[in-house]
Structure 1
Amino acid sequence: MTELNRRPVASLWIGESLHYLNQLCLKSHLLAGHPTILYCTDDVQNAPDGVEIRPASEIMDIDMSIVDQTSASFLSNVFRYKMIKKTDAIWIDCDAFCHKPFPDEMQNIYAGHGFRGALNCGVVYIPPQGELIDMLLDYYENLPEAPPWFNKNQRRKLEKFSSDPHPVRIYKAERTAFGPQAFTYFAQQTGDYDKALSPDCLYPVPFQLNDVFYDPHGRVEGHFTENTLSVHLYTNGTKPWWRKNVPMEGSYADRMCRQVGIDPSLALK
């Protein structure tokens, strides 16, 4: 194992076991020299050797009733900033593959993704003391009746789900209102939007092309540049077939599993 002498990275897992792509991504950070912490709500037994398992409650209590009404990733949008504030680690989604180590001196690790220009927070580090993280945490801890960027249609949806708990109403009105939408809005308010890295650094392959990771004839590396640090595999957007079957031989997912030392057949959905 590579000596773990770089900045720590951390993520959250809600569930009992990891998929092989999650194993792959976590282990890739270990091999790059990053101490890798996985905060868990359950007793996860199939994390790669070397990943440090900690209870999610060290950072915050996860309200499973909210998770059941939204998604496993919904409250992770709150968790990541609380984690950064408390530990100063870099947040990584469990489907972010480490292409190159994160530079020690880099203080603003986030970028836009896809074709829309919004910032994503799948891989993120912002200074734990600062206006941006304070505004994000205040938003989550003191939810307004409607997020300030909501348009008329989104506000009408809020009214439609008036009987649901407030966080659930916001989720049903707009699934990314706790995630990229909130991060983009508050980064614009604080001036941190302009500090974002270019998409090729963290999201070199656009979300809309996520199936290319499983295509043995897809030129995934053609999207990479010398700036690429992380490769997001977008498991939330992956077709169900790929979650239940090993990747095709020669595909990016297959090649990275061989490179890192992960057997996909042992951790399918």
Structure 2
Amino acid sequence: MSNTIRRPVASLWIGERLHYLNQMCLLSHVQAGHPTTLYCTDTVTNVPEGVEVRPATEIMDIDMAIVEQTSASFLSNVFRYKMIKKTDAVWIDCDAFCHRPFPDEMQNIYAGHGFRGALNCGVVYIPREGELIDVLLDYYENLPEAPPWFNKQQRKRIAKQDTSLPQAVRIYNAERTAFGPQAFTYFAQQTGDYEKALSHDVLYPVPFQLNDIFYDPYGRVEGWFTDATLSVHLYTNGTKPWWRKNVPLENSYAARMAAQTGVDPAKALEE
């Protein structure tokens, strides 16, 4: 474990229990020297030692009725920018493994992922004072009838939604990523911050479409890494059910990183 105190990182958990992948990802930041905070909506029974637990309400109220109509991660897209604005910490998804510490001087931590070139916001830091964070927060706090980048088909999907639903839910039902990568990409393009994005190998070295490689003992995950790689996203929202419910195969990346961080996968499998 590093003795160096680095810049803080933080995430959000909606629920009562972490999966072993979440445990090892959080611990990887602790062990790299990052003060690591997990904001929680519930009492989480298996947060690893070294991770500070704080109530999510310190940042914002989480409307559980909206969560139930969307997904557990949906409102985290709002939460991360409010958290950055209030605490100046780096946002990390709970499935982002710290390969190397985030440099203290790095002011724009975000990158594209996969094969499409859109920006992801699974690991993100932007200056807490600036146009990009202001327009993002304004978007979330004053939701339009339709996001400005929506095409004709997307706008039709919103129009078909029950008008009694919260506007956030109507937008989500029309396009699941309209609060996350789509919003971040669009507004970064509008403010000129898109050009400041890191290359995909820094935060998302393995494409989302190939996420099974983390559980393959012959997968050679590190072959995707470069000298610039800081974080490795494990994309648990795309992980097949079998991998979530079973101990990872020996010598797979998931098994090796669990051992490296001291996590026992058998004690935190999906039930």
- The verdict on how the C-alpha distance between 1:4 and 1:45 changes in structure 2, with shifts beyond 3 A counting, is farther
- Structure 1 residue 189 corresponds to structure 2 residue 204: no
Hey, what's the Cα distance between the residues in 1 that align with 2:15 and 2:194? Answer: 33
Counterpart position of 1:12? 12
For residue 247 of structure 2, what is the amino acid of its counterpart?
Answer: V
CA drift at 1:162: 2.8
For residue 79 of structure 1, what is the amino acid of its counterpart?
Answer: F
- Structure 1 residue 97 corresponds to structure 2 residue 97: yes
Hey, what's the Cα distance between the residues in 2 that align with 1:32 and 1:20? Answer: 18
Point out 4+ residue stretches in structure 1 off by more than 3 angstroms. Answer: none
Larger CA deviation: 161-170 vs 18-27: 161-170
Hey, what's the Cα distance between the residues in 2 that align with 1:119 and 1:4? Answer: 30
- C-alpha RMSD of matched pairs (Å): 0.7
Counterpart position of 1:115? 115
Hey, what's the Cα distance between the residues in 1 that align with 2:16 and 2:255? Answer: 24
Query: If the length of structure 1 is used for normalisation, what is the TM-score?
Result: 0.99
Q: How many residues align?
A: 269
Hey, what's the Cα distance between the residues in 2 that align with 1:245 and 1:159? Answer: 42
3-state SS, counterpart of residue 227 of structure 1 = coil
Counterpart position of 1:155? 155
CA drift at 1:2: 3.2
Contact 1:4 1:30 in 2 (8 A): no
Hey, what's the Cα distance between the residues in 2 that align with 1:68 and 1:81? Answer: 21
Query: If the length of structure 2 is used for normalisation, what is the TM-score?
Result: 0.98
Counterpart position of 1:221? 222
3-state SS, counterpart of residue 156 of structure 1 = helix
3-state SS, counterpart of residue 39 of structure 1 = strand
Hey, what's the Cα distance between the residues in 2 that align with 1:241 and 1:83? Answer: 33
CA drift at 1:165: 1.5
For residue 239 of structure 1, what is the amino acid of its counterpart?
Answer: K
Counterpart position of 1:131? 131
Counterpart position of 1:173? 174
Contact 1:7 1:89 in 2 (8 A): yes
Hey, what's the Cα distance between the residues in 1 that align with 2:215 and 2:240? Answer: 10
Hey, what's the Cα distance between the residues in 1 that align with 2:90 and 2:225? Answer: 21
Counterpart position of 1:69? 69
Larger CA deviation: 23-32 vs 163-172: 163-172
CA drift at 1:4: 5.4
Hey, what's the Cα distance between the residues in 2 that align with 1:184 and 1:117? Answer: 9
CA drift at 1:45: 1.9
For residue 40 of structure 1, what is the amino acid of its counterpart?
Answer: C
| % same residue | 80
Counterpart position of 1:264? 265
Contact 1:36 1:51 in 2 (8 A): yes
Deviations 1:196-248 (A, max 9, x none): 00000000000000000000010100000000000000000000111100101
